[in-house]
Amino acid sequence: MNLIIHPDAATAANAVAAMMAQALAAQPRLVLGLATGGTVEPVYARLVERHRQHNLDFSRCRTFNLDEYVGLPAQHRNSYRHFMNERLFLQVNLELANTHLPDGLAPDLSAECVRYERQITAAGGIDLQLLGIGQNGHIGFNEPGAELDSRTHVQTLSATTRAQNSRLFAAPDQMPAQAITMGLGTIRDCRQCLLLATGREKAGIIRQTLTSAPTPAIPATVLHEHPDCTVILDTAAASQLEGLQLPGVALLTNLRK
């Protein structure tokens, strides 16, 4: 696992956008895995800028999002389809037919999970997966206890996640109790992972993730088993790493002054 620490959140997001843009320019048919949430919003803003100012071309790119709430229609302002359409898909020259999220309204959710896995496989697998991290260590919506080799599945959301995300709903009780998420095994199969975490509220879980061996108790620790994973932090998210031994973690750049 590689680690890069940037001076602030904006620089970290810009660096992640640059890595994604570089991968897309090198491989126009890139299969991108995408995340939602506050942390990655500036990444999408920077990618949209690169499309508008430098003609970054998404026309042949395929995308698969990590997760979607169960029970929300695509047009609901809190659905992840809506988030992605607004922040990225409709702002660049992506073909909407090439963008994929699990269908949280599918009548048979188990069948939908199988279908989503097959769609990823049929696309040749995910080349580059963008990840955020929840304060309980979830990636996608794989909550503590999720099996490290799990595939796309229906996940009941934890109290921590509900507390973290319900503030984004008009009424907190509108937040769905379940989501469909790529599994930890699905994520581990992606050829490259970039995990972005910014802000002091992520410092504790980043310390735990980077210092713990893989364990279902901290789902993000599965990334220690990944052959090409880079964790990109700002100094706030890295603030509890000072002086720690981080076995298996290579500090690539430390831009702290």
Binding-site ranges for ligand F6R (CB under 6 A):
35-39, 66-67, 132-134, 138-140
Which residue number, 51 or 87, has a Cβ lying nearer to ligand F6R?
Answer: 87
Which residue number, 30 or 137, has a Cβ lying nearer to ligand F6R?
Answer: 137
Closest approach, Cβ 139 to ligand F6R, in A, equals 5
Whether 138 is a known active-site residue: answer yes
Whether 54 is a known active-site residue: answer no
Which residue number, 121 or 135, has a Cβ lying nearer to ligand F6R?
Answer: 135
Q: Which of 68, 112, 127, 143 is catalytic?
A: 143
Whether 224 is a known active-site residue: answer no
Q: Which of 6, 65, 67, 117 is catalytic?
A: 67
Q: Which residues pair with 231 in a beta bridge?
A: 3, 195
Degrees to nearest 5, angle at CA 57 with 233 and 231: 15
Closest approach, Cβ 39 to ligand F6R, in A, equals 3
DSSP string, the chain: -EEEEESSHHHHHHHHHHHHHHHHHH-TT-EEEE--STTTHHHHHHHHHHHHHH----TT-EEEESEEETT--TTSTTSHHHHHHHHTGGGTT--GGGEE---TT-SSHHHHHHHHHHHHHHTT--SEEEE---TTS-BTTB-TT--TT--SEEEEPPHHHHHHHGGGSSSGGGS-SEEEE--HHHHHTSSEEEEEE-SGGGHHHHHHHHHSPSBTTBGGGGGGG-SSEEEEEETTTTTT-TT---TT-EEEEE---
Which residue number, 33 or 98, has a Cβ lying nearer to ligand F6R?
Answer: 33
Whether 189 is a known active-site residue: answer no
Which residue number, 57 or 208, has a Cβ lying nearer to ligand F6R?
Answer: 208
Q: Which of 100, 138, 153, 226 is catalytic?
A: 138
Closest approach, Cβ 37 to ligand F6R, in A, equals 3
Closest approach, Cβ 10 to ligand F6R, in A, equals 15
Q: Which of 136, 142, 165, 226 is catalytic?
A: 136
CB 178 within 8 A of CB 154: yes
Residue at shortest CB range from ligand F6R: 132
Closest approach, Cβ 142 to ligand F6R, in A, equals 8
For residue 123, count other CB atoms closer than 10 A to its CB.
Answer: 16
Which residue number, 57 or 103, has a Cβ lying nearer to ligand F6R?
Answer: 103
Closest approach, Cβ 55 to ligand F6R, in A, equals 28
Phi/psi of residue 231, nearest 5 degrees: -100, 125
Catalytic residue annotation: 67, 136, 138, 143
